[in-house]
Structures are given as structure tokens and as C-alpha cells.
Structure 1
Amino acid sequence: MGLLARCGQRRRAAVWGGRAARWFVQARAQSSAVLAWGAFVGRFAAAGAGGQPAGLEPHACAAPTPLQPHLVFGAAPEAEIRVQAVGAGVRHALIAAKVAARGGAAGPRTLLAGLGLNRCGQLGRARAGASADASVVTELDADVVQIACGREHTAMVVRRPGAGARVAVCGSSAFGQTGPAEQQPAAGALAPPSTELRDLDVLDAALGAGESPAKVQCGLDHTVVLTTAGRVFALGWGADGQLGAGSESDSARPVRVRGLPDTVPIVDISSSTDFTLALGADGRLFYWGNAEYGQCMVGRKIERVLVPMEVPFGGGRIRAIAAGGCHALVLAEDGRVHACGFGALGLGAGRMSALLPLPISGLGGIDAVWASTDRCLAVDRRRGRVYSWGLGNAEGRLGDGSVAQCVLSPRQLDIDPALARRGLVALGNDIALVAEAPAAPGGT
């Protein structure tokens, strides 16, 4: 069953200056700068952040818009807020930060702020109703290393003082994507959601001595974990082979992905919908899950790939990978981005599908890429530029300042170069975030 079966103006100039530039300087002096675009985020926008195009949904932002961190975290205006991690999925996003009261004797607290829908507790804890009028703020006993968001669940890598990293989860357990349900469902019913953030304890039994989670990714209804030993585990929805275990079954317990090399560690994973990409330390690329749009990069469409298959890539050594909905991106070491599949390829109006990876014209010097259901981002950190392209822009999801239905070639966004060079990025189905990264130890 594929993604589509289960899912149900004028261009703003790419120039950073004036009031927005002054806001960025002021934000850095007190709290981390945070930009956002897409659904819901207008409720937290800084005063005077700018107008929006006609036809935009209420409370959406069509261009990168500065947020007021104290509104997001429910903190006093003078509080110092330093972002640790950001994540975005389907109709929700999360920001983790250290929040300190200015002049207060107590040390900073770690807070998790969730924006958007929360029907299954995917923002970290239960909230009455499904309104997105306010953020959901949760205090944590751990630092947040990384956040991933799915359709109605969230997973993150956290680290507590004096302890190793762990995976914490919340939200829907309907397919086991957040582990075994805390309450057993009635016969024939879906598992109830995990409405409070909790550790994924069932992962511990699968890990070896000294092994811990290094990265987590959320598909629509499954979760993938990369460990420090270079092994990959998955749990949740499995009908399209998302778990890489050789079957179409779901699993509420982590299963080790089969068929990946035992002698070469995996160093990166990417998933956002119903398939996963994995990159080996030797540069080999692997693919599993839904492949009905040809996004598997082997020259043909495959209904589903139940165990990882190696994908030959002729564009040079691979630097980074990004798994979207019906498309996949591969970033080569020479800074060129290659796209494959259907839809948000960035290859221009004349090319909406490709069964083999094709380089995106005019896009070079890229350092990182992200993909979501129908959208992509690429960053040139040296020059401080962020590019966006994709389909479906009703809520300003592409960030180009318009509500044009499609942006079929990369378009530079209006983002401060300093933030683009070192920003944390999250690209979801409906919301995107770019936040100032924490300073390196000993840095400024």
C-alpha cells in the first residue's frame, strides 16, 4: 500500500535586511534565533515579522518568519532560551531548548515545546482537545540530542547526566511505532496512544554492551533507530516492508533490519514516510520499504522492498541522503544533489519522474539535504543559502513567500546567511524550522 493511498503571487525576494536583520541580531543576544514557515506557526511570530500573501490559511506563514521563543515556551520575555534540537512531521513540530530565567539562582531547565496537532499526544503530553492555539510545553530530565516526527508520533534521542543516550517516544501506538502499548487494546481495536513522553525501554534488550542510539528517524507510522555500533533497528508499521525484516508484518518491538552488511557499519539513515535509506561507512547505499514510484533508484518501479537492497550510485561518493514521500535525494561529495522518483524532484516542469538519480541543474555547493512528503530543502553552508522546492503550498509550506501550488526548481529562501551556515533544520509535511544551533564547547 503506497503513500498516496494512505495519506489522505509574487515571489518574495531572497534578500535579508532591514527590520528582519535587526531582529536576528537582537535574538542572538538573548535567545536562539528560530525561523519557521508553514502551518500554525504564525501564532508565535515576532511582532512586525511581515505580511503574508492573500489566500494563505489563517496562522500560517508563507516565508521564513522569526518566532518569539518566549511565546513558544511560555516563558518570561526576558528569559534566555537556547535551542538544542528541532523536529517536524505531519501537522506537528517540536523544539527542545535550555530555558533560564534571567538573573535567577536556579540553573536552566530543559523544556520541550510542541506546535500543531496533538490528538495522540505526539507533542509530548496530553492536552485537552485538538486545538493548535497554543504550544504544549513539557519539562524534561534530560538533554535532547535529536528529534524526529512522524504522522502522529514522535521519537527523540535524549541524554541524562551521567548516563548514555536513550530513545524517548510519545504519540500513536496504533502500529507499534512507539513500542508496546501501555494499556492492552480491546480485541480488534488499535492500541491506545502513549500520551506522555517515555523511554523506549524495549530497545534496551536489542542493544549490545556499550551500544546506544545515535540517531532516530520517523516514517509516517514506523520508527528507525541507528546505533553507535552502526546497526539499524525498526518498529511499527510494516505493510510495505518498512521494517526491513523480510515480511509485511507490524512489530511493537524493535527488529534488526536484515541484509545490511555485518562488516561495515551504517553511518546514516533517513526516513519520513514509507521507505528508508541507509548509508554505509564505505559509501554504499541501501534501500527498503515502499518503492512503487521508482524512488528506489534502480531503474524500475517495485511495489515494496522487504529487505534492504544495495543501490548502485554513479554520481560519486555519497555525502548525505534524504528520503521523501515518492522521491529520494542523494547528495554527492562534489556538492551536487541527485533526485529520483516522482513529484518533488527539483528537475523543472518538464521532468516530474525519474527512475534513476538525476542531478538537479543549477544546484551546487550543497552541504546538507532534507526531504518530506512532497518537499525538499538543501543548504549551501559556505555561502549561507537555503533552497526549497516541491509540491503543495497551500499553507506556505515551501517557504518562498507565495501560495503557488508548485515550485519545481530550487528557489533560494529569505534566510540570514549566518543562520543558514549553522542552523538546525527540520522539514515536516506542513511545518519547517531553522533554528540557531548551540555553540560548540568553548565557542561563542
Structure 2
Amino acid sequence: MAAADAEKNPKEEEEEERVGGEVLYFGSTAWDTMGRRPSNSFGNLISPTRLRTLVGVDIRFVASGSVSCHCVAVDTHGRCYTWGRNEKGQLGHGDTLQRNLPTVVSGLSKYKIAKAGSGRSHTVVVTDDGKSFAFGWNKHGQLGSGSVKNEAHLSPVSCLISQATDVACGGEFTMWLSSIEGSSILSAGLPQYGQLGHGTNREYNSKNSSVKLVYEPLPRPQAIAAFSEKTIVKVACGTNHTVAVDSSGFVYTWGYGGYGRLGHREQKDEWVPRLVDVFQRKNVLPPDAVVSAGSANSACTAGGGQLYMWGKIKNTGDDWMYPKPLMDLSGWNIHCMHSGHLHHVVGADDSCISWGAAQYGELGYGPHGQKSSSNPKKIESLDGIRIISVACGTGLSAVVVDRKSAGECLDQLDIYDGDSSVEGVLDDTNVNGMAKSSASPVKTPKNTNTKKRNKKEVPLPSSESESEDYGIKEEEDSEDDTYGNGCVKKANNKRGRGRPKGSSKTLTEVSGRGRGRPKGSSTSAVTTKVSGRSRGRPKSTETKLSGKGSRGRPKKSKS
């Protein structure tokens, strides 16, 4: 009997792996603006919603990334679907047209896709026979094609790797797992913070007469020497850091150390993999452990299925400098998890749980639910439904639900047709009506006053900046012309001192000291003024904003 069971198990495992379900999506569909401009309800799907092109399609895996504004789905037949932002060709369709609905990547139709990973503007997939293909932005060599001659590949290109088993993508780098002994994990891309794990950031001065530090790309996948005698079985990538687990259950982290995301009780960058001391002895990770990495945090399940997290967990409060158990989820059987910008989605037992800071409905709580949640909370519309796979990106979440446990609940959910009245974005069925995402990019001026952390980190989602807004400043992508708080930047930096008579304030003035204003000057539309010291303002001013009365803010007007 034991022998028969042993022969049966591999087949059962293979059958389980092929089981698929239906994709539900929640979050923004305004691909051009998500993560760049202040959020509004325009184009947001705030409840789990079915996607028209995937209704009835058996999907077994979805992928996105902490700084990704696009998604990847793989069905049980190995077909690959992509949708979302496509400014760098990260969808792999040979163009830069946005896809509001999942579309099959025709360049991969000859292969059966098994795994996929998503970076800021690139996508990497692994086939069932160990090959790997990539498409999108390649300025830093993150596609692993061996060259950076072409900054972007709009269609799939071969990665220089064999016997690949899995893949994970960071912001501008990629990690592959391989079945080759001594080369179980390989990396390529941007080495700026040591996130590739090769003991160097490949920094050099590109100018002889002055100092201009640049980081030499690594376009050819290279095995991480520190693991030459170990076998890595799980890997997850944040924006600029990596988390890996070996076959013995030990956890290693490396890359950018800000906010304690590496779990070493300090914020130092690590250029080579470093063991996380919390997960040793009796607390090593089991074979079915879940590992996740967000923009500025990390997570995994350890002994007894307990979920541990570390790094920047919330927008406010102290950062967790080393792994701590998240007691709110004690006792839950977590079988899948993914982290986005500052939000997380978990599949546990027959429930879907989410929490974190959200702006676009990516927590899926619905129209009557709260926008964000600092504590894990069940998505009521998915209660009692088993989750097969989850993926989180910047302002988006996608889950694959089991149809059997969902039953008739799926019929009660809305179906998204791709036309969300988001201007300039149509579904893939109307190719002529699609807008090029790069046709008219909107740029925003760089903020030279931004405070810096340890080093000059590549601009990330707001978790990497001192502000708590959701605005994203991307190094390569186009940006909007507003601040995170929605205020329009002034055309000049005059402080308003000594303003001549008869002058008037503009409607959208952001700041101005107003010192020395003559009594005869008029003030119009003061109600839209965001901030101002108001020192020297004559008492004849008609309207003032309410405020705390502190210096730099107008006092509360008396009724």
C-alpha cells in the first residue's frame, strides 16, 4: 500500500498543479495614472470583479510586482495572458498599446508557460521545459538576454538560462531558480544596492573630469556564489531587495536595507545573502512555506504556519527591524500571499484576507467597506471561497478563486468589459481605438528638496520617500505634473515679498509668505490657498482657511 501511495502522489501533485479557477481583479484600471496622480474613483474596481476575456478560462497562476502596473496570468494549458500598462512593451504584444483586459501573448504560443514574474516595466516567464523568455524594459539588463543594446523588447526574447524552475522580479532586476546543481539561483539586472547578491554594486565613475557614479548592468544571468553548496527552493523580490529560502528551511535576505526590510535589526545594505537569525533551529520554514516581499517589507510563514513580517508595515508607526509574528493571523492556514506597494492579500483556509494602505480599491472591501485597513480583514464577498493564487501590484490586486467552492457566488459578481470610461483606454477587441500609452506622457518636475535615505535609492513608491502619499516617482517612466497631495506646482518660486499695489493672488497658489503686502492690494480666491504664513497680511482679507493655528498656517477664523 505504501508503495502504491508513493507512486500515486506525484500524479496527484501534478493534477493539483493543473487545477485552475477564475481570475478576479480589484484596483485601478486607469493604467496611465495609477500610482502617479492623486487617486479618485475614476476607473477603480473596488470589489472583486470578473474579467470578460477570462470568464470560463481555467487560470492557475497570476503574477504582478510591488511596483508593477500590469498583470500576468497563466492558464492550465500553459497560455500566457497580460494586461495593464505597456509603455515599455512589458505586455509582450509587440507594441506599446495598453490592454485593459487580459490578452494572450502570441509570441509564447509555442510554449507551455509554468511560472511568471513582473517588475516595474518588464516581465519574465518560465516554460515547463526549463526555458525562460522576457519582454519589456531592459536598460539595466533585467531581461537576462545578455545585452543592453536594446533598451526595450516589445516581444519575447530568450533569456540566457537553462533548466529554470521559477522566476521572481524586482523593480529593475530578475531572479531565476534553476535545477542545475551549484547554480540553484541566478540573477541579472540593476546591482545598485547589492540586490543581485554578487558582493558588489558594480559602481564606477563614468566621467574623468567630474564625478558621475553609475552602476554597470548585469545583462547575463549569473549564479550567486554564496549558494554554490546550497539549494534555493523559494525566492521573492521587493523593489530593491530579495528574500530566499533554501532546502533546509533557512531564510536569507540581501539588497537595500532601508526600513529594516532585510530583518537584520539594522538598515544596512547587504551585497551578499545574509542569514535571518530568527528562522533557525526549531523555527525553520517548512516545505510548504509562503514567502513574500513588498516594496519595503518582507513576510513568510514559519513553524506552525505562523506569519512573520518585517520592514515598513504601516504608513505610520515604527518599522519592524526584525521578523515578528502577525498575531492577527495566528491559527489561519495560509497557502498563498503576495505584497504590493503597502498592501497585502492572503489566501487562508476558505477566505481571502487583505490589509494595508490603499488608494484604488485594491483591498477589495467594496463600496461600503473602508478604503484602508491597518489590520487584516476578510473580503466579505469572497468569504467561503478557496483562493488558488494571489498577486499584488501598485494599486491593484488579482486573485484566482476555485470555482467549486465559489459556486453561484461568481454569478453575483460584476463582469468588467474593459470600457471603464477611462479616457483613452479601451479593451483589446478594439485595436484601432487603443491609445498609445507613450503617445503623450505627462511629466512632473523633480523635487530637489526630497530627503534622502542611506544612499540615492532609485525613486520608489511613497514607502521609499518621506511623504505618506501614494504618488510614485519612477526613474524611467513619465510622470504627472502634480504633487502627491494634488496641488499644482507654481510656475515660479517668488515668495510674494513686496508685491506691488493692485496685484492679486492666483487661484491655485500653493505657497507664499505674503510679507509686506500693501493694504490696498486685493486678494481673490483665497479659499483655494493651500498654505501660507500670512505674516503681514492686512486685516481686511475676506476669507481664511481653517487651520491649527501653528506657524506657517492661518489661524481658524472666528464666527
TM-score normalised by L of structure 1: 0.72
TM-superposed CA distance for 1:69, in Å, is: 3.1
Give the aligned partner of residue 312 of structure 2: 342
Quick one: which of 329, 337, 352 aligns to 2:299?
A: 329
* Equivalent position amino acid for 1:194 in 2: H
Give the aligned partner of residue 86 of structure 1: 62
Aligned-pair identity in percent equals 20
Give the aligned partner of residue 26 of structure 2: 37
Give runs of aligned pairs for residues 224-373 of structure 1, distance below 5 A: 224-229=175-180, 231-249=184-202, 250-260=217-227, 262-302=228-268, 304-313=269-278, 316-318=283-285, 319-344=289-314, 351-364=317-330, 365-367=332-334, 368-373=336-341
Give the aligned partner of residue 392 of structure 2: 427
Alpha-carbon distance change, 438 to 307 in structure 1, aligned in 2, over 3 angstroms: farther
Quick one: which of 148, 151, 164 aligns to 1:192?
A: 151
* Equivalent position amino acid for 2:52 in 1: Q
Give the aligned partner of residue 147 of structure 1: 116
Give runs of aligned pairs for residues 109-258 of structure 1, distance below 5 A: 111-129=79-97, 131-133=98-100, 135-139=102-106, 140-159=109-128, 164-180=129-145, 184=149, 191-200=150-159, 202-204=160-162, 212-229=163-180, 231-249=184-202, 250-258=217-225
Q: Is the 8 A contact 2:293 2:299 kept in 1?
A: yes
Partner Cα separation in structure 2 for residue 357 and residue 245 of structure 1 = 24
Q: Which runs of 5+ in 1 are unaligned?
A: 1-30, 43-54, 72-79, 99-108, 185-190, 205-211, 440-444
Q: Is the 8 A contact 1:153 1:171 kept in 2?
A: yes
TM-superposed CA distance for 1:369, in Å, is: 2.6
Partner Cα separation in structure 2 for residue 219 and residue 301 of structure 1 = 19
Q: Is the 8 A contact 1:85 1:144 kept in 2?
A: no
Partner Cα separation in structure 2 for residue 203 and residue 141 of structure 1 = 18
Give the aligned partner of residue 546 of structure 2: none
Partner Cα separation in structure 2 for residue 438 and residue 256 of structure 1 = 40
Give the aligned partner of residue 19 of structure 1: none
Give the aligned partner of residue 496 of structure 2: none
* Equivalent position amino acid for 1:308 in 2: P
Give runs of aligned pairs for residues 406-417 of structure 1, distance below 5 A: 406-416=372-382
Partner Cα separation in structure 2 for residue 361 and residue 223 of structure 1 = 32
User: Which of structures 1 and 2 has the bigger CA Rg?
Assistant: 2
Alpha-carbon distance change, 229 to 128 in structure 1, aligned in 2, over 3 angstroms: closer
Partner Cα separation in structure 2 for residue 213 and residue 288 of structure 1 = 21
Q: Which runs of 5+ in 2 are unaligned?
A: 1-19, 32-38, 203-216, 405-559
Higher relative contact order (CA 8 A, sep 6+): 1
Q: Is the 8 A contact 1:219 1:271 kept in 2?
A: yes
* Equivalent position amino acid for 1:94 in 2: V
Structure having the higher strand fraction is 1
Q: Is the 8 A contact 2:337 2:390 kept in 1?
A: no
Alpha-carbon distance change, 149 to 183 in structure 1, aligned in 2, over 3 angstroms: closer
Q: Is the 8 A contact 1:229 1:265 kept in 2?
A: no
Give the aligned partner of residue 63 of structure 1: 47
TM-superposed CA distance for 1:377, in Å, is: 1.9
Q: Is the 8 A contact 1:152 1:172 kept in 2?
A: yes
Q: Is the 8 A contact 1:40 1:115 kept in 2?
A: no
Q: Which moved more, 1:283-292 or 1:429-438?
A: 429-438
Q: Is the 8 A contact 1:34 1:69 kept in 2?
A: no
Partner Cα separation in structure 2 for residue 277 and residue 82 of structure 1 = 30
Task: Describe the SS at the equivalent of 1:362.
Answer: helix
Q: Is the 8 A contact 1:182 1:194 kept in 2?
A: no
Alpha-carbon distance change, 126 to 401 in structure 1, aligned in 2, over 3 angstroms: same
TM-superposed CA distance for 1:279, in Å, is: 0.5
Partner Cα separation in structure 2 for residue 95 and residue 378 of structure 1 = 18
Partner Cα separation in structure 2 for residue 274 and residue 305 of structure 1 = 11
Q: Is the 8 A contact 2:361 2:371 kept in 1?
A: no
TM-superposed CA distance for 1:419, in Å, is: 4.2
Task: Describe the SS at the equivalent of 2:58.
Answer: strand
TM-superposed CA distance for 1:59, in Å, is: 2.5
Give the aligned partner of residue 386 of structure 1: 352
Q: For this pair of structures, how many residues does the alignment match?
A: 350
TM-superposed CA distance for 1:111, in Å, is: 4.1
Alpha-carbon distance change, 84 to 158 in structure 1, aligned in 2, over 3 angstroms: farther
Q: Is the 8 A contact 1:87 1:149 kept in 2?
A: yes
* Equivalent position amino acid for 1:63 in 2: S
Partner Cα separation in structure 2 for residue 324 and residue 356 of structure 1 = 15
* Equivalent position amino acid for 1:380 in 2: A
Q: Is the 8 A contact 1:41 1:61 kept in 2?
A: no
Partner Cα separation in structure 1 for residue 100 and residue 364 of structure 2 = 21
Q: Is the 8 A contact 1:95 1:113 kept in 2?
A: yes
TM-superposed CA distance for 1:143, in Å, is: 1.5
Alpha-carbon distance change, 332 to 374 in structure 1, aligned in 2, over 3 angstroms: same
Give the aligned partner of residue 75 of structure 2: 97
Give the aligned partner of residue 105 of structure 1: none
